[in-house]
Structure 1
Amino acid sequence: MTMKRIKFFHPLFLLFAFLTAQAVNEGQNSNHYREASLFRFANATNKEPGFARIQSEHWAKKVLDTLTVREKIGQLFMVAAYSNRGPEHEAELKMQIEKYGIGGLIFFQGGPGRQLNMHKRLSKSSKLPLLIGIDAEWGLNMRLDSTYGIQRNMVLGATQNPILAQEAGAAIGAQCRALDIDINFAPVCDVNSNAANPVINSRSFGEDRFWVAKLSGAFARGMESSGVMACAKHFPGHGDTDSDSHKTLPTVGHGLARLDSIELYPFKYLFKAGVSSVMVAHLNVPAMEPSGLPSTLSSKIVHGWLKDSLNYKGLIFTDALNMKGVADAYPAGITDLKALQAGADVLLFPLDVPKAIAEIEAAILRGDIPMDRLDEACLKILKAKQHQMEQAFVDTPSMEEIKSPKSMESLRTKIAEASITLLKNEANLPIDPLDKDVAVIGVGRGTKPFLNVVEDLSAIPTGFAENPYSNKPLIAKLSKRERVVLVMDGSQYKGKSNYGLGPAELGLISELAPKTKLILVWMGNPYALTEMPENLLGELKGLVLGYQDIKEQHLAAAKALLGVIPFKGKLPVTLNKQFVADKGETTSKETGFIETFPEKVGMDGIKLQEIDAYIQKQIKDKATPGCRIVVLRKGKMVYNKSFGHYTYANNQPVNRFSIYDLASLTKVLSTGLAVMKLHEEGVLDIGKTLGDYLAWIPRDSPYAKLVLSDVMLHQAGLQGWIPYFQDYIDPTPERASLVNQNASSKHPVQVAKDYFVVSEMRDSIFARILREPLRKKTDYLYSDLGFYFLKEIVETITGKPLNVYVAETFYQPMGLKSMTYLPREKFSEESIVPTEYDALWRKQLVHGFVHDQGAALLGGVGGHAGLFGSAEDVAAIMQMLLDGGSFNGQQFLKSSTVEFFTAARAKNPDDNRRGLIFDKPVRDGGPGPTFDGISFNSFGHSGFTGTLAWADPDEEIVYVFLSNRIYPSAENKKLIRNNVRSTIQEMIYEAIIDSKNEMAAQPKP
């Protein structure tokens, strides 16, 4: 944003500069627009607009006294200007300014830079400041190329959020101010109660008078806070009409009681708040003007109702006088005269300025128009100009910001996420991102952003059809799913085409609805649904409204469908008896962390982006086919990216919900959590032995005497691992009988695809472990074997399988969607990342089955391996531990428990860095799971398949790295040799700006 001086470029303005330097009385300074925020509809009288409070001795009155009758008349006209037309057009405007002294310009099509330069040039030809207007209801992009705006008012109506409406008004006001625009002809205050309204429709905030008043009031308050005059339109209310005043004269046939209660309600609300101006529509309102005279030309309506009965003191604009609704009533010039006689101050878009001036001047000379009427209108215009001049400085965007899509991106996103409306939910929405019985079909080019979100945030298959009947084989295939989401882009804004929901689209819906549980996501005007047969609406199991076919609405609708954000929009208009205004189901946020800019939590976002190029290079060098990286700081997501593909065939990209074999992360994310909980509850004592808990271990076995804490610290003398699977590579006939290609009562335990073993395999494995002699030394040696026993202890104490206990105690209450053992039982194969092609033993690609051979022989559920999950679910558990056992307001573990288990517990930390279950940083600078500069208070674990989860309480950082570096072979050790995981961790710490521990980010000497 820049500080920009407001106006002006005209020579005569300098003659009056000394007048504007006088002290400004209290109540008429630039804070007026912020004072306008005090909307009080219950006030007995209207608040005067800021310009109306300017005292008569000021600039405006002094200027008025110097003007001739013709110059006064010229001030009434605001002429249309186009910056995209040639020099002839500009020359014509220059002539009108110089010859007739027109008071203002309303800009239409063109570009921002061209418009500002054109305004500057024309201002030099004007004796007085020009009043510059634009009709930019949803932003400059409504009129100008290379600019951006927000959604239409109906989308804001669905949010029922005055704060967003105020932000919208302020943002659009700032855009206008940057181009030296004085007045924006917005907000639309019409209560759109007629679905057939061809001209107001989605430009309205809705059909509820209360919300139209609140939202239009907030919008006006925001715009005027940016130094731009607001204009309430179209008085006395254009909402219940079925014809277009641009083409004919619409009729509003209601009686006075209804008009006062509904149509006039928002206008009275804004008048009491002191809105700067109002625009009178071209309407036939018999209850107010029985003669049939258009409201713009009716003294009974403009003077009698607007000025007298409603006591409005602001600037009164006509609607464009070239519109058929009024232009056909009288010849050019007469229309302007009658509008002035009726009480209008500004004559907008006149058909013929010379004729209009001549007619008005003649009427004044005849006495048909009192001189006081001309002076009143002219003085109000001059006061409005003076008020705009006195706002010496305001914050405005630069031209570069106006042309940048990011200028409105954040606001558009907030509006979108607050507007998405769930009208019908018989399909259990939101959808689980890992549901394998759902498919999403996009119809129309606009749906691609929606599909991209689904592909990035879920494992749900998608399909695309540019038109309703293209790609029928794909549609037929996907319709066999239990639920199908049909997304339609609704790209048409005209009612005559039913907003894009035509016969072909309705035919597709009819085709799919009987075959599946159909969920329609309509990304267009909600009135389109009024043309859908009620029986077809009844067949839909889900109905979501996105309101407008723009990227932000698509992104928000897709996120709401997947539960990333809640549904909270409300239908702003009535569609039928079932779907009435204010309807809309709300849901709670289901998944995900709050994402934020890194800088908001003390990190350098640009520095974090350096990770992208680094990991792309590693993928190119085939250190791993792909990966997921998540970084949290202070509980907020600052980095969350997917890279590469499931395999080097590049057939399936990694996405946000890709499920990885977590390998040894199982130790901390499953067995470790269970042990911590049972220890906390006092039913597990880590000072006791394996024999104290497992009666089947022979009393004379050395294993019976192993202390649990030593097992957890990897200093109990256990061997590193035992290759049980080797007995089945070329098995003896006796061992061969223990395996089978098919499941049976004798072979119920599945190890891999077409590979089943006997239930006694568990006993065989433990017998094999107990035969293995312990090491003579009890120094540190990392071992999986202890976690085989810890799993048995957890199951003995709880009476439940380990996978069931951790799911019930942690994963389900935490809302984790993907964290599980045996993922093929819950998720499609497409959502699970494969690991190694096991050419030695299983003779297949290990896909959806645990890679670790010992855990596989146990049926996929091990204490040391077997857990699968997404990066965000892993991050959730690590964040819970970082927050002292708390997550989403629920306490899963005591903070003292977490602290006890994550601290270094070995007698000599230099020889054994480990905590109880958790890994810790290396203290001597040698090779380890982390980079050298990390805090010794940090903790986590790494996994054989290429995974890492780490938490640092000192810097409040959680870092998760998931990959399948062992594809296609575990012999690929590039990820390990290149220290990829720890290098990325170092890059994360280099991005810290406000380090809590300055030494934490410094390399050790």
Structure 2
Amino acid sequence: MMTKPFLKPIYHLKTIVFFMFLSVFLVQAQDSKLTYANPSDVGLDSLYIHKNVDSIMTLAIQNEAFPGAQVLVAKDSKIIFHKAYGFHTYDSIQPVGLNDIYDLASVSKITSALPALMKLVDEGKIDLDKPFSSYWKQWRHVKDKKDLTLREILAHQAGLQPYIVYLNQVFKKNGKIKKRYIKNKPSKRFNKQVYKGIYIKNRFNKKMYRIAKRSKVSATKKYKYSGLSFLIFPELISQMTGQPYEKYLQDNFYTPLGATTMGFTPKTKNYANKIVPTEYDSIFRKDLTQGWVHDENASLLGGISGNAGLFATATDLAKIMQMYQNYGIYNGKRYFSEDTVKEFIKIQYPENDNRRGLGFDKPSIGNDTLSLKNSYPAPEVSTESFGHSGFTGTFVWADPKEKLVYIFLSNRVYPNRNHRNIYRLNVRPAIQQVFYKAKLEDN
């Protein structure tokens, strides 16, 4: 007779504990999804932010750092600032819109190939410290490449050649296009579209891989940025997953994140969003590049690559960066284990004066002691923070310690890549700094 009264309180205790854990989980899931709020809701001074960001952006546009741009900042899982400035081009016809789609350039590295590699590492299908040639068989017997690990490659510590201009392969010495590689109409052997009226031979990627295989590797192991492997990763990911690279990314990341505009070759997808142009290509495409990838190497892969080629809006980009900041969770869904994310975002070779994580960029070593002019990015970011920049004028950064995501999108290469005032004026770190200095108790 003593049994029932004794069991009943234990049953209630288990129920209470269960609902306590459930409530914590639901709060965390809700917190991980981006919502909108005012800066004051997260302890930041709205007036200070708007005044300073507006001032920096006005000066940048006046000095032709870019014709237009937009800034998005999320703090504590709340978008507290999202503002557009300027126009798509210097003729001031099309204003920048908050839903505009941008060419992300090298930001593609951490938002396309990298999440796929992280998932494969998380699943135990790739070991960061095994020779990369264990997976990419073409390098098995290449003396200077066969022992390189994926860790070294992703941290830019492997000594790989920084960049190969594959565009040289499609031109004759007289400057004319080689018709064996390029056609102006699609066919069975030429169905990868580079641009309107330009199609690359389907197997041209094999030529690119062969050239990469023969490229030199530095004998000195030190930090040397290289995007070479990111041209290879899409093929490797397809081989290892049994799915086309783009479909794998859509199914596993972009669709579940709700990042509906994130993807490749947006010109073919009939988005209602405006697509911001990049550079006028006077050599190859003979046109203002818009809706097709700016990077020539990615274009020769049909616009679908790991080094560049991804397009997105600021809000969609913020979702994937928020997921990283939350160590793999967004809106209640876990994409990677916390341990995997923490391994990828941590500095790998500080003893070699190499600030990089795995794929992710990190603050300069000793960044907090540097001036804004000499720091990368803003001096105030935490050592746990990470992100990446893009050649077209894009920049993303997440700071788990401060719970702050920073997105900056511009087309600084319009009308050509000689426009470099975005660097001279320190535009992106200067704006990032504003949000660290905007605490209400400090103003």
Q: Give the TM interval when normalised to the shorter protein.
A: 0.7 to 0.9
1:894 is matched with: 337
CA distance in 2 between counterparts of 1:700 and 1:923 reads 34
Question: Could you tell me which residue of structure 1 aligns to residue 435 of structure 2?
Answer: 988
1:643 to 79, 85, 89: 85
- Aligned match for 1:718, one of 157, 160, 176: 160
**Structure 1 residue 815: deviation in Å?**
1.0
For 2:66 and 2:259, the matched residues in 1 are separated by 26
Residue 596 (structure 1) aligned with residue 37 (structure 2): yes
> Unpaired segments of 5 or more residues in structure 2?
1-32
Residue of structure 2 equivalent to 1:778: 221
Matched, 1:767 2:214: no
Q: What do residues 339-364 of structure 1 show as CA deviations (whole Å, max 9, x unaligned)?
A: xxxxxxxxxxxxxxxxxxxxxxxxxx
AA matched with 2:43? G
| Contact in 2 for aligned 1:671/1:791 (Cα 8 Å) | yes
Question: Structure 2 residue aligned with 1:661, among 103, 112, 116?
Answer: 103
**Counterpart position of 2:181:** 738
- Structure 2 CA distance, aligned partners of 1:830 and 1:913? 37
Q: Residue 702 of structure 1 aligns to a residue in which SS?
A: coil
Q: Supply the distance in 1 between the matched residues of 2:139 and 2:324 (Cα, whole angstroms).
A: 33
Q: How much does 1:731 deviate?
A: 5.4
Partner SS, residue 879 of structure 1: helix
Displacement over 6 Å in runs of 4+: none
What is the DSSP-based 3-state SS (H/G/I as helix, E as strand, rest coil) of the residue aligned with 2:72?
strand
Alpha-carbon offset, residue 730 of structure 1: 4.3
Check whether the contact 2:44–2:440 (CA below 8 A) recurs between aligned residues: yes
Alignment of 1:890-969 (within 5 A): 890-908=333-351, 911-924=353-366, 925=370, 927=374, 929-969=376-416
Instruction: Specify whether residues 756 and 727 from structure 1 end up closer, same or farther in structure 2 by C-alpha distance, changes over 3 A only.
Output: same
Give the aligned residue type for 1:881: Y
Q: Give the Cα separation in 2 of the matches to 1:613 and 1:978.
A: 12
**Contact 2:134/2:140, CA 8 A, preserved across alignment:** no
Conserved 8 A contact 1:603-1:991: yes
CA shift, 1:613, in A, is: 2.5
Q: What is the alpha-carbon distance in structure 2 between the residues aligned to residue 956 and residue 835 of structure 1? A: 31
Are the structure 2 counterparts of residues 734 and 617 from structure 1 closer, same or farther at C-alpha, using a change threshold of 3 Å?
closer
Task: Provide closer, same or farther for how the CA distance between residues 798 and 928 of structure 1 changes in structure 2, counting only shifts above 3 A.
Answer: farther
Work out whether residues 686 and 707 of structure 1, in 8 Å CA contact, stay in contact via their aligned partners in 2: yes
Distance in 1 of aligned mates of 2:227 and 2:309:
12
**Is 1:810–2:253 an aligned residue pair?**
yes
1:928 Cα shift?
5.4
> Which letter maps to 1:970?
R
TM-aligned CA deviation for residue 907 of structure 1: 4.7
How far apart are the structure 1 equivalents of 2:273 and 2:332? 33
- Structure 1 position 684 matched with structure 2 position 126: yes
Q: Distance in 2 between matches of 1:726 and 1:992?
A: 51
**What is the CA distance between 1:656 and its match in structure 2?**
1.5
Mapped to 2, the partners of 1:891 and 1:780 lie a distance apart of: 32
Distance in 1 between the 2:141 and 2:299 partners?
Answer: 29
Q: How far does the alpha carbon of each residue in 1:503-542 deviate from its partner, in whole angstroms, 9 at most, with x for none?
A: xxxxxxxxxxxxxxxxxxxxxxxxxxxxxxxxxxxxxxxx
Instruction: Kindly state the Cα deviation for residue 614 of structure 1 after the two structures are TM-superposed.
Output: 1.7
- Comparing 691-700 and 940-949, the one that deviates more: 691-700
For 2:150 and 2:75, how far apart are their aligned partners in 1?
A: 34
Question: Is 1:630 the equivalent of 2:77?
Answer: no
Structure 2 residue identity aligned to 1:667: K
3-state SS of paired residue (2:194): strand
Does the residue aligned with 1:940 lie in a helix, a strand or coil?
Answer: strand
Map Cα deviations across residues 788-812 of structure 1 (whole Å, 9 max, x no partner): 2333322221112222111100110
Residue 702 of structure 1, CA deviation: 2.5
Is the Cα–Cα contact under 8 Å of residues 298 and 309 in structure 2 kept in the other structure?
yes
Q: Once the 2 structures are TM-superposed, how far is the Cα of residue 646 of structure 1 from its aligned partner?
A: 1.2
| Distance verdict in 2 for CA 1:598–1:801, change over 3 Å | same
Offset at residue 734 of structure 1 (A): 9.0
Classify the secondary structure of the residue corresponding to 1:816: coil
Q: State the SS of the aligned residue for 2:146.
A: helix
| DSSP-derived class of the 1:735 partner | coil
- CA drift of 1:749 comes to 1.3
Alpha-carbon deviation of 1:827?
3.0
| Structure 1, unpaired ranges of 5+ | 1-591, 996-1005
Instruction: Check 1:635–1:830 CA distance in 2 against 1; reply closer, same or farther (3 A cut).
Output: closer
Aligned equivalents of 1:617, 1:820: Cα separation in 2: 32
Distance 1:946 1:716, change over 3 A: same
Q: SS in structure 1 opposite 2:71?
A: strand
Cα distance, 1:993–1:915 mapped onto 2, change above 3 Å = farther
- Larger C-alpha radius of gyration, 1 or 2? 1
User: 1:829: Cα distance to partner?
Assistant: 8.2
Q: How far does the alpha carbon of each residue in 1:239-286 deviate from its partner, in whole angstroms, 9 at most, with x for none?
A: xxxxxxxxxxxxxxxxxxxxxxxxxxxxxxxxxxxxxxxxxxxxxxxx
- CA distance in 1 between counterparts of 2:135 and 2:275 reads 36
The reply to whether residue 616 of structure 1 matches residue 58 of structure 2 is yes
Of the structure 1 ranges 916-925 and 960-969, higher mean CA displacement relative to structure 2 is found in 916-925
Q: Which residue of structure 2 lines up, in the alignment, with residue 248 of structure 1?
A: none
Q: Is the 8 A contact 2:386 2:399 kept in 1?
A: yes
Match of 1:878 in 2: 321
Q: Retained in 2: the 8 A contact 1:747–1:758?
A: yes
Q: Percent identity between the aligned chains?
A: 36
Write the distance in 1 (CA, Å) between the matches of 2:68 and 2:257. 27
- Over 3 Å counting, the alpha-carbon distance change for 1:898 and 1:796 in structure 2 is same
Q: Which has the higher contact order (CA 8 A, sep 6+)?
A: 2
Letter in 1 for 2:410: S
Aligned 8 A contact 2:394 2:408 in 1: yes
| Residues in 2 aligned to 1:600 and 1:891: alpha-carbon distance in whole angstroms | 27
Q: Is the 8 A contact 2:161 2:226 kept in 1?
A: yes
Residue 594 of structure 1: how far off its partner (Å) = 2.0
Q: C-alpha distance in 2, partners of 1:927/1:765?
A: 37
* 1:605 pairs with one of 26, 41, 46: 46
Q: Structure 1 counterpart of 2:76, which letter? A: K
**What amino acid does structure 1 have at the position aligned with 2:426?**
N
* Cross-structure match for 1:700: 142
Q: Distance in 2 between matches of 1:871 and 1:945?
A: 14
CA contact (8 A) 1:919 1:940 kept: yes
Amino acid of the structure 2 residue aligned with 1:605: S
Give the count of matched residue pairs.
404
In structure 2, how many angstroms separate the alpha carbons of the residues matched to 1:842 and 1:619?
Answer: 27
> In structure 1, what is the Cα distance between the partners aligned to 2:142 and 2:34?
51
Once residues 754 and 825 of structure 1 are traced to their aligned partners in structure 2, the CA distance between those partners, rounded to angstroms, is 13
Paired with 1:651 and 1:814, the residues of 2 have a C-alpha distance of 33
Which residues in structure 2 correspond to 1:107-122 (within 5 Å)?
A: none
In structure 2, relative to structure 1, the CA distance for the partners of 1:942 and 1:929 (3 Å cut) is farther
Q: Deviations over 1:864-902 (max 9, x none)?
A: 111100111111111111112111111112222211111
The residue type paired with residue 161 of structure 2 is Q
**For 1:736 and 1:979, how far apart are their aligned partners in 2?**
44
Separation in 2, partners of 1:752, 1:638? 37
Give 1:49's aligned residue: none
| Structure-2 separation of matches of 1:975 and 1:905 | 29
Structure 1 residue 698 displacement after superposition: 5.0
Structure 1 counterpart SS, 2:111: helix
CA-atom RMSD, angstroms? Answer: 2.0
What is the aligned partner in structure 1 of residue 5 from structure 2?
A: none
Shift of 1:739: 0.7
